[in-house]
């Protein structure tokens, strides 16, 4: 099969489409003939040599995919050859085929094309496992999403609105703010021209928001804490603003704040399967009902993975970037 290989750590130009060995499936895995995969920031870190795949996972980038079942292991009962599926994977999406544990496989949501379904698994599992399963965001609460126009952000806005949450977002351009507003965001803040802490305090009568989903890390840490309501929860899923900062911890105690962080890729197959089951039960019906839609900015052929990475690193996109096979 063909796969995109990271020929050496570096810029987008190190990604090359090459002929490689087909993956072998284990008894509890299925082989997917890939129709599409989607880009995630983690892919750009892996390309730079900063985020290696977990032991036992494919060395090729790509954390989600959609396609058709080509083979099934002897312990697999739910899926059969020819089924159209999408999946959460530890790596290997930038290829023509991938082996996936059966617990990480989902049906294509009703009303979504086979290609566009590739835009869901990683973002949906990330947002559901952090904000809903862990931070317990619930109806009537307030929620701030940093990077509202990202793949994570565009899904999180729609899902939170489905569940009766008031949504605040930050983004860096009028075009991105407008896109977030169209998806249902209630308060859109341009972080380049406004202080988000001040705006949040104004919009919440000085209270702050209940939950924050943050991909910035260090440089936003104090300001995030300052933006939280009593019993507020901050969930960190990325460190685009660094991992080191100085912080006044007093507000944690004074307002009973909770700070948590987690990744998805390094979780055990058992844990991933649990998240995937929760997602199918809680999120798939909202997608089938048309309340949550895929937001795809651009499609590239697999051979143009380098150009797709350049677009992602420019941060000019809104929603997901897909590679089609």
- For the chain, what percent of residues have pLDDT higher than 90? 99
Structure tokens of 10? 């570096």
Q: How far apart are CA 286 and CA 163, in angstroms?
A: 10
Residue 117's SS3 state is helix
- The secondary element (H helix, E strand) that includes residue 120 is none
Residue 294's pLDDT is what?
A: 98
Strand 258-261, strand 64-72: pairing: unpaired
Q: What are phi and psi of 96, to 5 degrees?
A: -85, -25
* 97 C-beta neighbours (distance < 10 Å), count: 21
User: Per-residue pLDDT averaged across 234-260, rounded?
Assistant: 96
Helices 151-162 and 174-183 cross at an angle (nearest 10°) of 30
Write down the mean pLDDT value for the chain: 97
Residue 90's pLDDT is what?
A: 96
Q: Which residue shows structure tokens 């931070």?
A: 135
The string of pLDDT tens digits covering residues 38-88 is: 999 999 999 999 999 999 899 999 999 999 999 999 999 999 999 999 999
Q: What are phi and psi of 139, to 5 degrees?
A: -50, 135
Q: How far is CA 312 from CA 11, 47, 52, 213, in A?
A: 12, 13, 19, 20
DSSP 7: -
User: Per-residue pLDDT averaged across 178-198, rounded?
Assistant: 98
The string of pLDDT tens digits covering residues 91-124 is: 999 999 999 999 999 999 999 999 999 999 999 9
Q: How is domain 2-122+265-324 classified at the CATH fold level?
A: Quinone Oxidoreductase; Chain A, domain 1 (3.90.180)
Q: How is domain 135-261 classified at the CATH fold level?
A: Rossmann fold (3.40.50)
Give the bridge partners for 321, in sequence order: 298
Residue 205's pLDDT is what?
A: 98
User: Per-residue pLDDT averaged across 285-314, rounded?
Assistant: 98
Residue 128's pLDDT is what?
A: 98
The string of pLDDT tens digits covering residues 131-158 is: 999 999 999 999 999 999 999 999 999 9
Inter-residue contact 176 to 148 (CB < 8 Å): yes
Domain chopping of the chain, boundaries = 2-122+265-324, 135-261
User: Per-residue pLDDT averaged across 285-309, rounded?
Assistant: 98
User: Per-residue pLDDT averaged across 253-257, rounded?
Assistant: 98
pTM: 0.96
Residue 60's pLDDT is what?
A: 98
Strand 228-236, strand 258-261: pairing: parallel
E-only strand ranges, the chain? 2-6, 15-19, 29-38, 64-72, 84-88, 97-101, 105-107, 142-146, 166-171, 187-190, 209-214, 228-236, 258-261, 296-301, 320-324
Residue 108's pLDDT is what?
A: 98
Residue 34's pLDDT is what?
A: 98
């Amino acid at each position: 099969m063909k796969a995109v290989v990271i020929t050496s750590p570096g810029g987008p130009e190190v990604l090359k489409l090459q002929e490689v060995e087909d993956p072998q499936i284990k008894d509890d895995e299925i082989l997917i003939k890939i129709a599409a995969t989607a880009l995630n920031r983690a892919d750009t870190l892996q390309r730079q040599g900063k985020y290696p795949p977990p032991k036992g996972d494919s060395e090729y980038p790509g954390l989600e995919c959609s396609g058709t079942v080509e083979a099934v292991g002897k312990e697999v009962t739910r899926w059969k050859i020819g089924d159209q599926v999408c999946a959460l994977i530890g790596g290997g999406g930038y290829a023509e085929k991938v082996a996936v544990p059966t617990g990480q496989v989902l049906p294509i949501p009703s009303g979504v094309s086979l290609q566009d379904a590739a835009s869901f698994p990683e973002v949906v599992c990330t947002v559901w496992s952090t904000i809903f399963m862990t931070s317990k965001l619930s109806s009537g609460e307030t929620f701030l999403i940093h990077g509202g126009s990202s793949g994570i952000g565009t899904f999180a806005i729609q899902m939170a609105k489905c569940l009766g949450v008031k949504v605040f977002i930050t983004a860096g351009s009028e075009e991105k703010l407008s896109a977030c507003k169209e998806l249902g965001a209630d308060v859109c803040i341009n972080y380049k021209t406004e202080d988000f802490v001040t705006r949040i305090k104004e919009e919440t009568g000085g209270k702050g928001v209940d939950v924050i989903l943050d991909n910035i890390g260090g440089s936003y840490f104090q300001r995030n804490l300052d933006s939280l309501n009593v019993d507020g929860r901050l969930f960190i899923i990325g460190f685009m603003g660094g991992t080191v900062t100085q912080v006044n911890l007093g507000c944690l105690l004074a307002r009973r704040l909770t700070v948590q962080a987690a990744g998805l890729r390094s979780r055990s197959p058992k844990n991933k399967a649990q998240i995937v089951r929760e997602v199918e039960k809680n999120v798939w019906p909202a997608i089938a009902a048309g309340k949550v839609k895929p937001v795809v900015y651009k499609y590239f052929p697999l051979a143009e993975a380098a150009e797709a990475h350049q677009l992602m690193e420019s941060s000019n996109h809104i929603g997901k970037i897909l590679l089609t096979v």
